Amino acid sequence: MEKLVERFLKYVQIDTQSDENSGTFPSTASQHEFSHILIEELLALGLHDAALDDNGYVMATLPGNTDHEVPVIGFIAHMDTSPDFTGKNVNPQIFDSYFGKPLSLNKKERILLSATDFPALNHYLGKALITTDGTTLLGADNKAGIAEIITAMEELIQNPEIKHGPIRIAFTPDEEIGRGADKFDVQKFGADFAYTIDGGPIGELEFENFNAASARIHIQGRNVHPGSAKHRMKNSMSIALELERMLPLNEKPEYTEGYEGFYHMTEMQGTVDYTTVKYIIRDHDKKEFTKKKELLIKVVDHLNLKYGSGTVRLILTDQYYNMKEKIEPVFHIVELAMKAMNKAGVTPKVQPIRGGTDGARLSYMGLPCPNIFTGGHNFHSRYEFIPIDSMKKAVEVIKNIVELNAQKA
């Protein structure tokens, strides 16, 4: 398992931050560079068909070693890190044993990782943790998944007594900006079903996710001298704030949990004359999701009646849907993952994803794809950490899935 940690530490120090404002695919050249590193590693392990396609997807096959036909399983992780927090100059730290006291991530900046702020730390007393240095994210989302998949493949190669069917693996770009499945060739991948190794704490197993939409709102104001502005000025920033106040206060991320959906303003830039606002809209229930979108449209229509036609322009785009609809008809793949976790001594924690994964869109593209834990916590932040034991268990679960799948056939 030293290789697992070694791989992970190597991967997170490679900057692969995606860029939603880029028109290229992948959105950043660094992801393309990382994919070449992964190809070289896969070829060295003996996955001789490892290849990179024109769109930046890495795919490879570990052939089966059974004497009977077994369904083809896929394992998928993404190469990019969040565009919202820097992934440059990542300097991971290993704390050999956590004993309950706050961990000093950065003495100079006085940045602490504390159970007072993050109670989940209390589950890892005596465990080794990998953290950031307090200035960047860590990148366990999703380089932990990549390291775990490759390590599992290496162990299966080294232990041919573990019987398994054909295994396909794929590493995708730009998942963090919602493009990870845009050009994924499901037919070429050739798996009967797959799992994204892209979840959080140990035991997570998810086959439900948000329905998701993005909203871009353009507000055209009218700027005149404030000294003579009465009945003439239209302050576009004030209109943006008015729009925000018209949305339900309790339907914001900071007030919701579980299956509760939300509106989330992610960006606002503007002047008196012109303002742009970005929202994401989320809900697990398709009807509630539709209602949320309809309410935003009504709010925009109201503001246009109040301030003049064309003042507020809304661009509303569906991003992905709840994979539950596609997973329930093949629920045995969830049960297979549960059995694999139990065999590894991990208690399955089946819960809805308050977000999305490549697997959500892939499920609608014909590849049923639940999500399994990597072991990480506090993704996309300077407080991100991952217990080494949780990563080891993720590797064990992957191996158990393919072994149990071969036994079942």
Tokens representing 314?
Answer: 């809304």
CB hemisphere CA count around 61 (13 angstroms): 12
CATH 3.40.630.10 domain extents, the chain: 2-208+322-408
Task: Give tens-digit pLDDT for 86-145.
Answer: 889 999 999 999 999 999 999 999 999 999 999 999 999 999 999 999 999 999 999 999
Q: What is the pLDDT of residue 356?
A: 79
Q: 130 pairs with which residues across the strands? A: 94, 386
CATH 3.30.70.360 domain extents, the chain: 211-320
- With a cut of 60, say whether residue 389 has pLDDT above it: yes
Band of the pLDDT at 84, cuts 50, 70, 90?
Answer: confident
Q: Output the CA–CA distances (angstroms, integers) from residue 38 to 33, 45, 80, 113, 209, in the order listed.
A: 9, 11, 13, 31, 29
Residue type, 318: D
Tokens representing 144?
Answer: 């932990």
- With a cut of 70, say whether residue 272 has pLDDT above it: yes
Per the prediction, the chain carries an average pLDDT of 96
Task: Give tens-digit pLDDT for 160-215.
Answer: 999 999 999 999 999 999 899 999 999 999 999 999 999 999 999 999 999 999 99
Task: Give tens-digit pLDDT for 219-258.
Answer: 999 999 999 999 999 999 999 999 999 999 999 999 999 9
Kindly state the average pLDDT of the residues 31-56.
96
Q: Which CATH class is domain 2-208+322-408?
A: alpha beta
Task: Provide the 8-state DSSP code for 225.
Answer: -
Kindly state the average pLDDT of the residues 320-347.
97
Pair 338, 348: CB distance under 8 Å: yes
Of 160, 138, 171, 153, give the one whose Cα is nearest residue 4.
Answer: 153
| CATH for 211-320 (3.30.70.141, 3.30.499.10, 3.30.70.360, 3.40.640.10) | 3.30.70.360
Q: Going edge to edge, which strands form the sheet with 193-199?
A: 51-52, 58-62, 167-172, 73-78, 193-199, 371-373, 204-206, 349-350
Band of the pLDDT at 70, cuts 50, 70, 90?
Answer: very high
- Which residues are identified as catalytic? 80, 175
